[in-house]
């Protein structure tokens, strides 16, 4: 059997309703092109009817859906990284179970991957919607047309400069072998919820990066449970990622500016004292990085 072009992988945990909708989208989008696309679900030890949803879709796809079930909740990072390790496709697209993919995006992705041999990373512009469907933010990035650079370091830095919002699971499509190497490059990524930023930055530094200007997916506000953790991500986990990306060819002065751009520690210190203490050494290291002259 020839290698699939793309692996679509959905990490999930206790969200049977969202998963059912996402699998319905995925199967309709694949539309029988199973020789090109592999579909995976990685169940993080769900206690609801997630296993029943997976079994039903496995039957409907005549066994094409591959399902992995962990005996317990390993956390989002380990579950998502497991998706990458199990991917057989040339490229891997991790999709959150609750994000909405804009019509036409899947076909655009397949066509783009089929026509290019130099891509290491595709980055999809996003939007934000309210729970009732009203658009709250039409476009994360201000790009008016698609952008391509090889290597993609400066283009990725421009995406970071405009917004960190889209650099998550659903907006990123990686060349599989490159991100599998990234897992070896930084094993500690499994303990960092900002791991998608490192994966994206690493992939962009290893070859061609393409940003699709047209908004291609929507984050539905209010469906995630990580909002309360954002100060930890912002003040501690992201700075750790930025330091790691310097080793992958990113500019010290740019990363220094990113790390030191938000030094209002009061809320972070009071709510997450342990992570605050751990973050101090990262900021001291950032202060020693090269300053823009």
Confidence tier at 281 by pLDDT (50, 70, 90): confident
Kindly give, in sequence order, each residue whose CB lies less than 8 Å from that of residue 227, ignoring residues fewer than 6 positions away.
Answer: none
> Within a domain: residue 1?
no
> Within a domain: residue 235?
yes
Which of 186, 207, 224 marks a domain boundary?
224
Kindly give, in sequence order, each residue whose CB lies less than 8 Å from that of residue 266, ignoring residues fewer than 6 positions away.
Answer: none
Residue-level pLDDT at 107: 98
- Supply the mean pLDDT for the chain: 91
Tokens describing residue 266: 């009061």
Same domain, 109 and 72: yes
Residue-level pLDDT at 288: 78
Same domain, 215 and 232: no
* CATH (domain of 157): 3.90.550.10
**Could you read off the pLDDT of 53-100 as tens digits, one per residue?**
999 999 999 999 999 999 999 999 999 999 999 999 999 999 999 999
Same domain, 218 and 269: no
**Could you read off the pLDDT of 233-257 as tens digits, one per residue?**
888 899 999 999 999 999 999 999 9
Answer whether residue 276 shows pLDDT above 80: no
Judged by DSSP in three states, 10 sits in strand
Q: Cβ-count burial of 35 within 10 angstroms (0-12 exposed, 13-18 middle, 19+ buried)?
A: exposed
**Global pTM value:** 0.89
> Within a domain: residue 293?
no
Answer whether residue 292 shows pLDDT above 80: no
Same domain, 179 and 94: yes
Number of Cβ within a 10 Å radius of residue 270? 10
Residue-level pLDDT at 260: 81
Mean pLDDT score, 183-194: 95
Same domain, 107 and 204: yes
State which residues form the domain around 104: 6-224
């Amino acid at each position: 059997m020839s290698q699939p072009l793309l692996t679509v992988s959905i990490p999930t945990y206790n969200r049977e309703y969202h998963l059912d909708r996402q699998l319905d989208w995925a199967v309709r989008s694949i539309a029988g092109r199973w020789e090109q696309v592999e579909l995976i679900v990685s169940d993080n030890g769900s206690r609801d009817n997630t296993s029943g949803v997976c079994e039903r879709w496995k039957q409907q796809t005549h066994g094409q859906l591959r399902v992995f079930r962990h005996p317990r909740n390993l956390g989002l990072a380990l579950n998502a990284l497991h998706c990458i390790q199990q991917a057989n496709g040339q490229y891997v697209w991790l999709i959150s179970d609750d994000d909405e993919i804009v019509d036409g995006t899947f076909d655009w992705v397949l066509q783009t991957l089929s026509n290019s041999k130099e891509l290491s990373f595709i980055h999809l512009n996003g939007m934000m919607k309210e729970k009732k469907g009203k658009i709250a933010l039409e476009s994360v990035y201000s790009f008016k047309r698609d952008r391509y650079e090889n290597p993609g370091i400066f283009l990725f830095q421009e995406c970071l400069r405009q917004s960190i919002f889209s650099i998550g699971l659903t907006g990123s499509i990686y060349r599989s072998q490159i991100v599998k190497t990234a897992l070896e490059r930084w094993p500690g990524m499994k303990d960092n919820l900002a791991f998608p930023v490192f994966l994206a930055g690493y992939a962009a530094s290893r070859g061609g990066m393409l940003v699709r200007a047209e908004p291609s997916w929507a984050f539905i506000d209010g469906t995630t449970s990580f909002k309360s953790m954002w100060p930890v991500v912002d003040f501690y986990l992201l700075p750790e990622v930025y330091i790691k990306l310097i080793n992958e060819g990113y500019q010290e002065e740019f990363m220094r500016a990113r790390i030191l751009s938000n030094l209002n520690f009061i809320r972070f210190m009071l709510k997450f004292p342990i992570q605050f203490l751990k973050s101090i050494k990262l900021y001291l290291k950032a202060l020693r990085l090269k300053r823009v002259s």
